[in-house]
Amino acid sequence: MLERRGAGMRHDRHLRHALIDWFPQARVRAARIAVVGAGAVGNEVVKNLALLGAGAIDVFDFDRVELHNLTRAVFLREADVGAPKASALAARAAEVDPAVRVTAVEGDFWDTLPLAALAGYDCAVAAVDNFEARVRLNRMCRIAGVDFVSAGIDSRLASLEAFPFASNPDCACYECHLPESAYQRIAARYSCGGLRRVAAAERLVPTTAITASVAGALAASAALRLGRDAGDGARRVLFDTIGGGASVAALARRAGCAGCGDLGERPRVLAARAAWRERIAAIADDVAVQTSDPLIVGYACARCGDRSRAGQYVLRRARDFDDRIAICAACGEPAVRIDIRDEFTAAELVRLYPDRPPPAKFAIARAGDGALCLDFETDDQRPQQPQRRPE
Amino acid sequence: MANELTQLKLHVRTADQTRRAELALAPDATGAEIIQAAVDNWALPADTDYALVNVTTGKALAPDATLAASGVRPGDELEVQPVLVAGCKSA
């Protein structure tokens, strides 16, 4: 009886949607969406998805709520200042519709969202403040064959870019039209080719709730593919919230793109954490393999030759360290030569990592007429859940 | 004279349409070169990243693609658009 009443209440809730002949309520109800970034745009994306009745929304963010977020983030309150953004957002968004499952995943999505888990989503939405996270999420979506939506804002404009990788794996990716200056901005966050810069200054982009609201609405619509055909290609929408004008541009795939140029139509993804040696042994020794994360493969002071701390860093992921490790422990000079690479041959990787996979998310091998992706976070091919932080 | 004949007369504008110009550009000019010229001549914010869209055809121009390779025709209108991020702090 209670279930019937619940079902009826749900029907009543979406009664107006049922009057829209093109509105796919059943598909929306079944949708699983990953929203990366719980700031202004992320809040608006989740708000719209929850109101529309999306089935499951997982929110990824490592940051905590600050006072200035409250002028733009619809679900955050003053009492949330200092709390994890993802959890604060998810808790309040869940009140919108009890039938919509909203889950917070605290932490950097790169560390909490395995490729196999991403493959279980219908779409991943990037609502983050930097190019690097967007580039990374775009590549994951392109490999996993999951739709990718990128939403951005400034003080006046709202943008949306949609990449329907699930139905159109050969469409342009986010990087096909990314200007060189964006890569320079990413590079400025690192030194020695992969160490985090301690003094890297983040650019602050002034934004308002108005542009966040428009971008969030556009992104939610694109994530659910409302009114779109399966045959659609990649596109960019730019909306002027003052003038009211909008432009829609088709994005063509670019040969030689850093993001998708080597991937072929859809790379084959193989679970390779437990079966690392077996998987890499199946690749010819001289085949080039690119790891998703730059790895430290050499560490020695160019001034005094000291290598005493090499064991702490060599064979580990470069982004786990900052550029202070370039100061030699023996002579105190910033003279340590750190060899950081993300390009190897299969034979080199086996020699460097004989017993375990490299500490990367995945690696891409260009084999034959396609690409092979070795997933280092997955033991088997079954879909996984995001890796939530232990309480 | 031959050089003039081979040039494309185009309209270029910013996304907020506060700046517009009619330009004659060589077909081998790239999207990145046109963006840089717009940033320099119009004193657009240098800490912003830009993309170029042919609003006449509704197609974006890849940064390294030439006007000719992108199928730009005389009279087309190109818009210099900021490539936006923002939203929250993340990795």
pLDDT tens for residues A294-342? 999 999 999 999 999 999 999 999 999 999 999 999 999 999 999 999 9
What pLDDT, in 10s, does the model give residues B22-43?
999 999 999 999 999 999 999 9
Pairing of strands B50-54, B77-82: antiparallel
Residues of chain A contacting residue B91, judged by C-beta atoms under 8 Å apart? 62, 108-110, 128, 130, 132-133, 136
Contact A88, A75 (CB under 8 A): yes
B61 to chain A: closest CA residue: A177
Give the residue ranges of chain A where pLDDT is below 70.
1-11, 381-385, 387-391
For residue B91, pLDDT beyond 80: no
Q: What whole-number distance in Å separates Cα of residue B55 and Cα of residue B70?
A: 13
pLDDT value of residue B71: 95
The full set of domain ranges for chain B reads 2-82
* Structural domains of chain A sorted by starting position, each given as residue range(s) with its CATH number in brackets: 31-250 (3.40.50.720), 268-375 (no CATH)
- B90: which chain A residues are within 8 Å (Cβ-Cβ)? 36-37, 61-63, 108-109, 128-130, 133
The DSSP bridge pattern shows strands A32-36 and A56-61 to be parallel
Binary contact (B50, A154; C-beta < 8 A): no
Q: How far apart are CA A162 and CA A177, in angstroms?
A: 12
Contact (Cβ atoms closer than 8 angstroms) between residue A169 and residue A265: yes
DSSP state of A281: H
Question: What is the pLDDT confidence band of residue B90, given thresholds at 50, 70 and 90?
Answer: very low
Distance from CA of B21 to the nearest CA of A (A): 19
pLDDT of residue B5: 53
Could you write out the DSSP letters of every residue in A350-391? Answer: HHH-SSS--SSSEEEEEETTEEEEEETT-SSSS-----PPP-
How far apart, in whole angstroms, are the C-alpha atoms of residue A235 and residue A232? Answer: 9
At the second CATH level, the architecture of B2-82 is Roll (3.10)
Residue B79 has pLDDT above 90, yes or no: yes
Tens digit of each residue's pLDDT (9 = 90 or more) over A125-153: 999 999 999 999 999 999 999 999 999 99
pLDDT of residue A130: 93
Two tokens, residue A170: 């050969």
